[in-house]
Amino acid sequence: MGNLWFAVVNVMIAAVVLAFIAAAAVIIRPIVAARNEPLGPASALAVSVGGLGLFIFLFAAAGWIAIGKWRLFPELWWLLPALAWIGVAIALSATMVAPLRSRLTMPRVAWRILPPLALLAWLVGVDLLVCFDPEFHTDALWYHLTLPHYWLTEGGLRPHPTLTLAGYPLLTEMIYMVPVSYGLPFATRVLHLAFGVGVVLAIHGYLRRQLSASAALAFAAAFFIFDPVNEVATWANTDLARTFFLVAAAASLASYANRGERRDLLVGAVLSGLAMSTTYIAIVFGNGLLTIALVAATARPGVRARRIARDLAIFWSVSAAVLSPWLVKNLIHYGQPFYGLEGTNLRLPLAQLVTDYLGFVLVAFWVLARRKSDPGERLLALYLLFYLIAGTFQMPPIKRFFLPVYAVGLMLIGRVAAPLFASRRWLEIAFPVALLAFAVAVTCYQWYYHFFDDALRFLFQNSPPEWTIIWHH
């Protein structure tokens, strides 16, 4: 069977980590979302990922993660921060949920949900297979995997003597330390793919207010149709984690713009802070642009400037507090809080912007032009446009940095198409079936041209590639 068992073990450890994240998300869900709020599961999962990463960070900073330090079951060190996070989640739920407590109802499963579920399963399943290609992405081999291995062998967070990128906020790499400690690098790619599924949940949660469950899931699953998403999803990277946090934050702020509930603002601030905790890029393309979009969407007649200033103060103070552990770490290690920030100011050619994202730009302008668009839709449209405009001056010319544009664009398209799906129910079946047929055709094309050969060769050969051996202890 070659390395099939090794692949199964990688998937199993990723599944165990995701189970702890899901358990904490179930506990804190009543805190982050109101009763049966469609966006609640995605927001709770995002906060849970951040909580687990933060506790691993704290244990690593204290030097409690050394492999072999624990006499009994030495490689189960990560259970301590995981259980600590679940304990804190239980304590928060016990103290804060009382006025918010409500019985959650399980959604009814109808046959119409099967086509979009099949679409999502096909897209994710194909990407899961590609996760077992040999890792070739430079960033993964440069620091996404090597830094967790360095911290584990050093017994805690230590300043790297030569790697400037060690000064980046590295929340996702905290999660990656779990499979790396077992010598299971493929599990990190499975975890990164799971962040993409989180983006799907966030898109679905936002669209669920105006679309049926099947139509909302079809638009959400279409996120994996885009080639840049599929390419990045199978890497040991952080782009889908950053996208997950940013999209969930934007959706929460859109909900706040519509309903004015303070909890949505706080959750959006926490999620934006978590996005900044994955990379410096999110400081501008997260907090910066969301701030502008929030002001532009909520500044209307009858809204006092004092309220807008108060909202911005809350948003920035909470998000900065979430980011602050990484700044303190850099201050201690390197003497400056934003160490490693230099050298990221590159430019995306305007021609590439027009050709690759013109459809999303037109949808955003349509949303802004029509009178019946609500403030939340306007916020998302403005965020999309500001993201692309800022990208012409600040972003490296790499499509993976623009993954939030695809997600927010799908959210806007779904809201614009909601009346059409309401009047023509057959589209709930035809749309995901058409997307599934397209996805199957693309997969057949890839199979014909040997796109999956490396992964299949690894799964069914007798020895792992040499690069995987270095992760075994």
pLDDT digits (tens, 9 = 90+) for 272-287: 999 999 998 888 888 8
Give the residue numbers spanning the domain of 349.
Answer: 4-94+114-466
Which tokens go with 282? Answer: 């999110």
Write down the pLDDT at residue 470.
42
Give the model's confidence band at 462: pLDDT under 50 very low, under 70 low, under 90 confident, else very high: low
For residue 161, give both structure tokens.
């003597």
Q: Pick the residue with more confidence: 108 or 163?
A: 163
Residue 354 lies in a domain: yes
Domain count, the chain: 1
Highest mean pLDDT among 13-22, 103-112, 379-388 belongs to 13-22
47: in domain? yes
pLDDT average, residue stretch 153-159: 87
252 falls within a domain:
yes
In a domain, 153, yes or no: yes
pLDDT of 238 strictly over 90: yes
The percent of residues above 70 in pLDDT, for the chain, comes to 86
User: What's the mean pLDDT in 424-430?
Assistant: 90
Q: Averaged over 32-51, what is the pLDDT?
A: 88
Residue 312 near residue 295, CB atoms below 8 Å: yes
- Residue 360 falls inside a structural domain: yes
Does some domain include residue 108?
Answer: no
More confident of the two residues 352 and 412: 412
Decide if pLDDT at 53 tops 80: yes
**Backbone angles phi and psi of 38, in degrees to 5:** -60, -30
- Look at residue 89 in the predicted model and tell me its pLDDT: 93
106 within a domain of the structure (yes/no): no
CA neighbor of 202 nearest in space, from 122, 267, 266: 267
Q: Is 448 left (phi over 0), alpha (psi -120 to 50) or beta?
A: alpha
pLDDT at residue 351, rounded to an integer: 59
| Whole-number average pLDDT of the chain | 86
Question: How far is it, in rounded angstroms, from Cα 280 to Cα 218?
Answer: 32
User: Could you tell me if residue 472 is inside a domain?
Assistant: no
- pLDDT tens-digit map of 371-404: 888 899 999 999 999 998 887 766 556 788 899 9
